[in-house]
Amino acid sequence: MFKKNQKHLQLPLTSHVDDLPEPLRIRLEHSWAAVFYRELFCKLNEGPFAVLYARDPSRPNIPVNVLVGLEWLKAGNGWTDEELYDAYGYDVQVRYALGYRQLGEGYFDLRTLYYFRARLSAYMQQEGINLLDQAFEQVTDAQIEAFRVKTGKQRMDSTLVASNIRQMGRVQLLVEVLQRVYRMLEDADQSRYAEAFGPYLQGHAGQYVYRLKREDVPSRLQQIGELMARLVEELRPQYAQQAVYSVLVRVLADHFSLQERGVHPKADADLSATSLQSPDDLDATYRVKAGKGYQGYAANVSETCDPENPLQLITKVQTAPNHTDDSQFLAEALPNLKQRTQVMTIYSDGGHGGPQADAVLHQQQVEHIHTAIR
């Protein structure tokens, strides 16, 4: 059951913070933790997150502003989940930033954070709404008003973000998918396909590649493609709803041409940038930039840049597969930025220019100044 967290607004009569020597307490009250508590934690509107919880009377949720605050702190500090959890449990500054004044207050198991992420992801998949993105924009808009930041001039730039996935060659990826398909099968089907899967189950996928000679790759790709095509057809009635089956269908289409004469491996040069890079990250894509290959995503960031501002604020963050064009980022971001911030001028490099962006710039009446043309 959803319940807003307002407990932090009523300070206890005594707390562990009060036990600190006065110089340390004053230092804490003027540290980044106090700024985070005041400008992010307290400004976060928890209401939109109510859709993630049951409406029936039940146990109240762990405070949303605490869970979202932890996600922001993890990203800002580059923590692992374990480091995040230790900081939440033992770091006085982190706890102060999240509205706690007692060390033992607000305990929850780390699994709660995983469940929260799963709810966020499921809701985004079902409704197309990114609640964390909305929360970032809502807090930023409140800061813009509080600090009187001028938003008419903004700059925009993109960068490549690596996916946290294991690097795989083509054959290794296909064998890894086959191994997962085998594990998906029920016992009777594993026995039925034991001979067909046999060559691919002798150790992990990397070990299969280690034993492979370069001249054997074309014939092995052919064998894998034929097996995958067979499995896609024969497993469809019973396993079509399984996520692993969907991955099997995707890699078959990515790597092989299905013709009347049979299955044929595609040439390496014909593989799409959108082809699957890892069965553990279905959205990561491949891109070559400045002669170097990247697996993962592209991030595009918009920021105020008026020289009269006492500080500048990031106003929008976008992520997409790394083959996304910069002009597409600009075209997609501009209506939201215009509505929220009344931006009048966008500064960027030459990559953000193009017909797609030009049409939106004209529609929104925003001037685009870029450092070069494409």
pLDDT confidence of residue 170: 83
Q: pLDDT above 90 covers what percent of the chain? A: 63
Structural domains in the chain (count) = 3
pLDDT digits (tens, 9 = 90+) for 120-151: 988 988 898 999 999 999 999 999 999 999 99
pLDDT digits (tens, 9 = 90+) for 22-48: 999 999 999 999 999 999 999 999 999
In this structure, is residue 137 part of a structural domain?
A: no
CATH number of the domain where residue 316 is located: 3.30.420.10
In this structure, is residue 133 part of a structural domain?
A: no
pLDDT confidence of residue 293: 64
In this structure, is residue 280 part of a structural domain?
A: no
pLDDT confidence of residue 297: 78
Tell me the mean pLDDT in the region 242-257.
92
pLDDT digits (tens, 9 = 90+) for 204-245: 888 888 778 878 888 999 999 999 999 999 999 999 999 899
Indicate if 155 and 174 belong to the same structural domain.
no
Indicate if 94 and 23 belong to the same structural domain.
yes
In this structure, are strands 367-370 and 345-348 parallel, antiparallel, or unpaired?
Answer: parallel
In this structure, is residue 139 part of a structural domain?
A: no
Distances (CA, A) of 8 to 11, 12, 22, 101, 105: 6, 9, 22, 9, 11
Q: Is the pLDDT of residue 10 over 60?
A: yes
Indicate if 196 and 95 belong to the same structural domain.
no
Indicate if 252 and 314 belong to the same structural domain.
no
Indicate if 123 and 11 belong to the same structural domain.
yes
pLDDT confidence of residue 287: 62
Least confident among 89-93, 219-223, 290-294, 337-341: 290-294
Q: Is the pLDDT of residue 159 over 90?
A: no
* Domain closes at, from 225, 244, 270: 270
Indicate if 120 and 14 belong to the same structural domain.
yes
Indicate if 85 and 159 belong to the same structural domain.
no
Indicate if 248 and 195 belong to the same structural domain.
yes
In this structure, is residue 324 part of a structural domain?
A: yes
In this structure, are strands 153-162 and 285-289 parallel, antiparallel, or unpaired?
Answer: unpaired
In this structure, is residue 159 part of a structural domain?
A: yes
Token reading at 374: 């494409």
Cα–Cα distance for residue pair 199/338, rounded to 1 Å: 57
In this structure, is residue 138 part of a structural domain?
A: no
Indicate if 177 and 226 belong to the same structural domain.
yes
Q: Is the pLDDT of residue 288 over 70?
A: no
Least confident among 66-70, 84-88, 182-186, 282-286: 282-286
Local confidence band at 298 (pLDDT 50, 70, 90 cut-offs): confident
Tell me the mean pLDDT in the region 334-345.
96
pLDDT digits (tens, 9 = 90+) for 103-125: 889 999 999 999 999 899 889 88
Indicate if 159 and 290 belong to the same structural domain.
yes
Indicate if 176 and 240 belong to the same structural domain.
yes
pTM for the model: 0.69
Token reading at 91: 């770091």
- Average per-residue pLDDT for the chain: 89
Least confident among 35-44, 52-61, 250-259: 52-61
Tell me the mean pLDDT in the region 44-65.
90
Q: Which domain holds residue 27?
A: 7-128
In this structure, is residue 261 part of a structural domain?
A: yes
Indicate if 215 and 308 belong to the same structural domain.
no
